[in-house]
């Protein structure tokens, strides 16, 4: 059975894709067969952070140029990867039927991964919501900024009211300290619980780090370096806590749902 994890955020610029890439690598480096799907349609850039340029992408599958199996590539760290491609307009304008075709097609791949991490577009757009609702677990990335709180709350509210999602993991990114990150989570949790009957689980924090910035610039993910440090330990801790996050039961179509 495959555990699917959607990683999203209320707004762009909070490091969502960096976190998705490094969590996927953390799982892969623990010898867990892991697939990373770049479903941030129109803004797909996970391949850039991975430092690779796959010949085929999700666009090739959607347009019928390639089977989904052919679109999956494998990185040097044994992470399987499906690129979202670069054709902004084509993938941004997918119909519900086309999105459902993508989701259902994962049932047909020959080797089912133990985990699939889905990098979902920021915000409450219909495309993002479809992929979130189709995952077992949903993780929201936020920072300590007020605008990040507001946008993350709006995302969770829409997910709860429109799709019946009620379990969310929270990662605080760009934190100044573990203590400050936990305080920010507790503030966000307090605000959210005033108005919504949802469960928020703190999964951990990722520090503000020059190492992470350098890894983005060099297109070499931090977890690929295999060098122990505060940052890599943060991703390892988050990947452990992910297993304790409750699944959402939305009643909608799911990845790997036979």
Identify the three-state secondary structure at position 214.
Answer: helix
Please give the distance of CA 89 from its chain centroid, rounded to a whole number: 21
Residue predicted with more confidence, 198 or 93: 198
Mean pLDDT of the region 23-30: 96
pLDDT > 70? residue 91:
no
pLDDT band at 87 (very low <50, low <70, confident <90, very high): low
pLDDT > 60? residue 217:
yes
Rounded to 5 degrees, what are φ and ψ at 174? 55, 45
Torsion of CA 248, 19, 180, 241, to 10 degrees: 50
Tell me if 109 is assigned to some domain: yes
Tell me if 30 is assigned to some domain: yes
Identify the three-state secondary structure at position 181.
Answer: helix
Tell me if 251 is assigned to some domain: no
Q: What confidence score (pLDDT) does residue 85 get?
A: 79
CA torsion sign for 11, 12, 15, 20 is positive
Q: What confidence score (pLDDT) does residue 90 get?
A: 59
Number of domains in the chain: 1
Tell me if 252 is assigned to some domain: no
Q: What confidence score (pLDDT) does residue 258 get?
A: 58
Q: Are 75 and 81 in contact (CB under 8 A)?
A: yes
Tell me if 253 is assigned to some domain: no
Q: Are 178 and 205 in contact (CB under 8 A)?
A: yes
Largest CA distance in the chain: 50
How far, in Å, CA of 134 to CA of 100, rounded? 9
Please give the distance of CA 210 from its chain centroid, rounded to a whole number: 22
Mean pLDDT of the region 1-10: 97
pLDDT tens track for 95-141: 888 899 999 999 999 999 999 999 999 999 988 999 999 999 999 99
pLDDT tens track for 169-190: 999 999 999 999 999 999 999 9
Residue numbers of the domain that contains 204: 3-242
Query: What's the CATH number where 127 sits?
Result: 3.40.50.300
Torsion of CA 71, 77, 78, 84, to 10 degrees: -20
Q: Return mean pLDDT, the chain.
A: 93
Q: Are 132 and 16 in contact (CB under 8 A)?
A: no
Mean pLDDT of the region 220-242: 94
Tell me if 249 is assigned to some domain: no
Tell me if 258 is assigned to some domain: no
Tell me if 247 is assigned to some domain: no
Element (H, E) at 67: none
Q: What confidence score (pLDDT) does residue 209 get?
A: 94
Q: What percent of the chain has pLDDT over 90?
A: 84
């Amino acid at each position: 059975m495959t555990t699917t994890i959607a990683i999203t955020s209320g707004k762009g610029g909070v490091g969502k894709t960096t976190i998705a890439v490094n969590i996927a690598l953390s799982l892969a480096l623990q010898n867990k067969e892991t697939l990373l799907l770049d479903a941030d349609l129109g803004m797909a850039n996970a391949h850039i952070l991975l430092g690779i340029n796959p010949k085929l992408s999700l666009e090739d599958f959607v347009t019928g140029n390639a089977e989904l199996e052919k679109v999956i590539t494998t990185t040097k760290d044994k992470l399987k990867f499906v690129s979202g491609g670069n054709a902004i307009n084509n993938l941004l304008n997918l119909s519900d039927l086309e999105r459902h075709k993508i989701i259902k097609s994962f049932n047909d791949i020959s080797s089912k991964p133990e985990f699939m991490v889905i990098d979902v577009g920021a915000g409450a757009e219909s495309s993002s919501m479809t992929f979130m609702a189709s995952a077992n677990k949903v993780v929201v990335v936020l920072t300590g900024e007020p605008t990040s709180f507001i946008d993350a709350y709006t995302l969770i509210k829409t997910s709860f009211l429109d799709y019946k999602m009620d379990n969310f993991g929270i990662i605080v990114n760009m934190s100044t300290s573990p203590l400050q990150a936990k305080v920010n989570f507790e503030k966000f949790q307090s605000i959210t619980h005033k108005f919504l009957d949802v469960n928020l689980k703190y999964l951990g924090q990722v520090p503000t780090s020059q190492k992470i910035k350098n890894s983005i610039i060099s297109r070499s993910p931090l977890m690929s370096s295999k060098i122990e440090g505060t940052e890599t330990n943060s991703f390892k801790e988050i990947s452990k806590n992910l297993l304790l996050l409750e699944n959402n039961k939305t009643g909608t179509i799911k990845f790997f749902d036979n």
